[in-house]
Amino acid sequence: MSSRTRSYLAAWLIAIAAVIVTCNAVLQASRWYERPIAGVLLNPDGVISSVGMPSWSGIEQGLRFPDRVLSIDGAPVVEAGGARPGRVWDSAVEAAARRGARSVHARIVTSAGVREVELDLGRVDAISWWLYGGGNIFTGALYALAAVVALRSGSHRPLARTFAKCSTLAALFFLTFFDFQTSRTMVPLFFASFACVPFAIVDLALRLPDDVALVARRPWIPRVLGVAGALMAAVIVTRDLADRGVATLQMACSYLLGGALIGFVATMGLRYARAKGTRRATIGVLFRAMSWPYALVGVGVLVSSLSSRSSVMVFFAIPAMALAPIATGVAFVRHDLWGSRALLSRVLTGALAGAIACVVAVGVGAAFATSLGVSFDSALVGAAAGAVVSAALVNYVTRGVERWFFPAATEYKPTIGQLSEELTSITHPKDVGVAVERTVRRWLPCDRVEFRDAADHGSGGGGDIGLEDDLRILATFGGRTLGTLFVGPKRGGALLTTDDVDLLATIANQAGLALAHAHDYAELERRRRDQAAAWQTERGALVETVAAEIAHEVRYPINFFRSVFHRRPGDTTLDAEEIDIGREEVDRLERLVSGLRRLVGHRIERRVVTVRALALRVEMLLRDELAGRDLDLDIPAAAALRCDTDQTTQVLVNLVANAIDASGARGRIGVQWTVDADGAYLVVWDDGPGFESDPSRLFSPWFTTKPRGTGLGLAITQRIVRAHKWSIDALRVDGRTRFVVAIPMSDVVSVEIENGAPEMGERRIASPLRDHEDTHR
């Protein structure tokens, strides 16, 4: 079993044990509310406790621990083989109260000798019960909860285990404290925890929030402290079960507890003074919350043997002991005290805070009900039932109010999450407004929602008809107003809530950020295109230079062959060296000229030709490359254009040949002609895998993805297209690669035009380039 599993199991055992002990403590303590007492509280052995209200008659007469009661109203409290002295005393006090007596007479052994005292009868009133009973039970429950949280959150660290051990012992001490002096049903648990708590406090002081140098050098010290506490607990519990006096051991434990509390405060104060940074902040939270109650209780315990009035200090300090588990909880949340790296759950944290608030409400309600004359048992049950019902009802009503009147509160997280996800994929400013309007309409039913980009409509948008009374929220970024969100009245005249406005402001802030991103993206894209165009121009100039250099180099083999062919008729014999030189020059010419024949532009000689005739001619020229496949031709019969026939044929040959190579042996290739109001589009497409590089690089000279390609085919194609004053672009849409040649309307004609037929340019077919832009958005 791993250490984490053991820690989780220990946490469950502590939780279950704490519930059982707490239930028994509450049950026994409730029976002592308004119960008669004779001026003091007694331990099971008849030893007077120093804990008590200053107004009690026994405390006023100076009775204190370890004074022992001998008799009450003449009857001895020690009965041979009978009940323990504490129970005999309680029975005698109850009998006196039933007789209507106002006091009891007691013989008590003190350090000064035997005293005869008259003790007034009183009752455990609300203040004393909540101080010594309910308050301690509540504090013990908090310590138990802190122990469970420590084990669940930081089970792999020694500090978490040490804190859990100390908190568990403290929980047992506080849960059984009132029972030990009243009902006495959990005496062994009280003695065991009372003996172990001082050693656990010392151990915790040496390790909170990290080990001191002494423990780091001698890791056996915490084990020795644990063994010492266990031995002390075993001795005191064994002697108590054997009805042997434990007053001396109890006194020793009191001194150990007082010294441990004061030592804890001193150690934490010294460590706080020396700490820096985050460690100082962590220790500061613990030291400020735990120092003064620990110091008061420690001093009160130490001096209790000198004066019974010292219990007044404990009177003020005991409720403050609850600050220790609360402080550790704050340190855990704010500074990750146990190094757990756990995620703080809003639901669990709220449930825990709500449970603590319910417990406090139960106490306040029970105290108020008893002040009105209701029996304590009935008041406690009624207050508990009311708190539980109220918690459920408040939760239901709160959720209902938020759902019906404040939907923005419940829709905040999903709305912002959906909008953020949508805005991350938007690069066009107009699409930001569409997304914002759609998001607002999704959760806010209102008559009108409009988002305006300041770049298109101005930053104010004021004075527009129908928008004067709208709620206006500016979308800003970097101190600039980038847009305005207009929201009309809610449907039915419902009121806008503050949560609505807060959510709309958050949406507007996100819109401002998205608009800034979209504008920057558009500017970056424009610069990228300018850079690509400049780069292509530069590369084109380089190609022209290369072509000129090649033309220069061609002169030399031409001169050689000219010299050979211009020889006199009688001198026609070539020697072997001349033949070798000629062969080498031919090979070199073929390498230099291949693919560059049309690199340098020529004069355009336009004439009218049908597009279908051009495509059929290309299909015939590439018949061998097509290997039996047909081109998918989507070209109207009347479609025609003005162009240089030879060069346009070369454009189609290059594009179709490129499509054949890209589509593979079984791929489909086609040529499409479409027309819209701006002009015509000659499209060569294939269903191959497509290209992965930047489309603008495909037309760059020398750029190729083929193992044996020259990288000049598309460059030549682009030069011819530009020479015609056209444009070409490469797209990937719906699983197809499309090379789109955009032709202006001035070069678009039809056969019927020459005969006076209606112009084909009136036909409206969607633009492939615009379709791609819309899909990209």
Nearest to 729 by CA among 749, 737, 679: 737
**480-487 β-sheet, strand order:** 449-453, 480-487, 471-477
* Distance separating alpha carbons of residues 485 and 471, to the nearest angstrom: 8
* Distance separating alpha carbons of residues 720 and 727, to the nearest angstrom: 10
The residue type found at 645 is T
The residue type found at 353 is A
Question: How many residues in the chain?
Answer: 777
The residue type found at 317 is A
Are 331 and 282 contacting, i.e. CB atoms less than 8 angstroms apart? yes
What pLDDT is attached to residue 764? 35
State whether residue 561 is helix, strand or coil: helix
What pLDDT is attached to residue 752? 46
* Distance separating alpha carbons of residues 441 and 449, to the nearest angstrom: 7
* Distance separating alpha carbons of residues 347 and 361, to the nearest angstrom: 20
What pLDDT is attached to residue 111? 82
DSSP H stretches of helix in 100-186: 126-129, 135-153, 158-180
H-helix or E-strand spanning residue 468: none
What pLDDT is attached to residue 755? 37
CB neighbourhood size of 501 (10 A): 14
Under 8 Å CB-to-CB from 288, ≥6 apart: which residues?
Answer: 327
* Distance separating alpha carbons of residues 263 and 269, to the nearest angstrom: 10
CA distances from 220 to 226, 260, 393 (A): 10, 19, 53
What pLDDT is attached to residue 154? 60
* Distance separating alpha carbons of residues 369 and 604, to the nearest angstrom: 106
Burial class (CB in 10 A: 0-12, 13-18, 19+), 651: buried
Quote the tokens at residue 667: 């791929």
The DSSP string of 64-122 is -TT-EEEEETTEES--TTSS-HHHHHHHHHHHHHHHT-SEEEEEEEETTEEEEEEEE-E
Mean pLDDT, consecutive 10-residue segments, the chain of 777 residues? Answer: 74 89 91 90 88 85 87 83 83 92 92 91 87 88 87 73 90 93 92 94 87 87 92 93 85 88 91 86 82 81 59 59 77 68 65 75 76 72 77 74 68 75 82 87 84 69 56 88 88 77 87 87 84 77 63 59 65 65 66 54 78 86 76 89 86 86 84 89 87 63 53 74 88 84 88 38 44 43
The residue type found at 640 is A
CB neighbourhood size of 129 (10 A): 24
